[in-house]
Amino acid sequence: MIPSILRSLVRPLALCAAFALAAPAFAQQAEEQPIPTHQSWSFAGPFGRYDTAQLQRGFKVYKEVCSNCHALGIPFRTLSQPGGPEFSKGQVEALAATYQIDDVNDKGEAIKRPGRPADTIPWIFANKAAAAAAFGKAPPNMNLLAKARSFSDGFPWFVVNLFTQYQEQGPDWIYAILNGYSKPEDRKWNLYFPGHAIAMPSPLDSLFDPKTGKALNAGFYTDGTPVTKEQVSKDVAAFLMWAAEPSLDARKRIGFRVMAFLIAFAFLAYFTKKKVWSDVHAHA
């Protein structure tokens, strides 16, 4: 009896020992390139929703800073869809018209014309090669950036994350990168980027003094939101999350209904079973 209990303990004990031995190695790796911290997001969790005002501010940051290098790759009209930044149709038309779009006229000649809501927001670069030539590496297209990047929190957090439905790696990663330029003298050194050498010079330097972190234009936001590096990073990360997953809200609502149905169904099944078998017990 006792030996068999011991034997069954060997495997879990061996596993624990392996983790204990491996833990310092994980910790060392974490020191070199820390794991991004989890920020609080309005769209996290089963009841999460995008914050319209935040998405509008995030778009402003994208347009005035990130779009100087990164493509977004979504049509203008998406910006007026429900669940997004919800700009008015008029605002989107006016915005699109400020861009020049490549097109062909009736004679088949290449022309430029003002943008329309159905056009994709154009990229500043003609193509990837031109962008790569400018920075050594092409800035990745942003419409999937928030989904394409993920990181592992390491043991045991990845188990905890399963239960808390943690899905915000993308925005947490973007936030970490934007705030990872911790060497004022080297604006391509990033704490969170693998190897620390990133081809993107700190993009928020156009809004904040690299040494003091103070806003260069305190009136950057017009809705009264304080212009801090943390706020600006969060707003643009939230916007990019929406761009990568515009139907997140709807998906969560459906998921919640399915869960509610399953719970109700489980109760029904349980009481039906009880009722059906109650007679059987009585006559036994």
Contact footprint for ligand HEC (CB under 6 A) = 61, 65-66, 68-70, 135, 137, 139-140, 145, 149, 174, 177-178, 198-201, 203, 236
Distance of closest approach, residue 261 Cβ to ligand HEC, in angstroms: 38
Residue 113 or residue 187: which is nearer to ligand HEC going by CB? 187
Of 238, 244, 256, residue with least CA distance to 46: 256
User: Which residue stretches of the chain are H helix?
Assistant: 2-32, 52-64, 89-97, 128-135, 145-148, 157-164, 169-178, 229-244, 248-283
Please name every residue paired with 215 in a beta bridge, in sequence order, or none if there are none.
Answer: 208
Distance of closest approach, residue 71 Cβ to ligand HEC, in angstroms: 11
Residue 232 or residue 252: which is nearer to ligand HEC going by CB? 232
Residue 115 or residue 203: which is nearer to ligand HEC going by CB? 203
Distance of closest approach, residue 222 Cβ to ligand HEC, in angstroms: 18
Q: Tell me the three state secondary structure of residue 4.
A: helix
User: Which residue stretches of 36-125 are H helix?
Assistant: 52-64, 89-97
d(CA 148, CA 244): 9
Q: Could you tell me how far CA 81 lies from the centroid of its own chain?
A: 19
Distance of closest approach, residue 203 Cβ to ligand HEC, in angstroms: 3
Of 84, 53, 57, residue with least CA distance to 228: 57
* Contact assessment for residue 111 and residue 100, using Cβ atoms and an 8 Å cutoff: no
d(CA 48, CA 50): 7
Residue 17 or residue 148: which is nearer to ligand HEC going by CB? 148
Residue 226 or residue 255: which is nearer to ligand HEC going by CB? 226
Residue 85 or residue 203: which is nearer to ligand HEC going by CB? 203
Residues with Cβ within 8 Å of residue 70, at least 6 apart in sequence:
62, 139, 140, 141, 142, 145
Distance of closest approach, residue 221 Cβ to ligand HEC, in angstroms: 14
Distance of closest approach, residue 143 Cβ to ligand HEC, in angstroms: 12
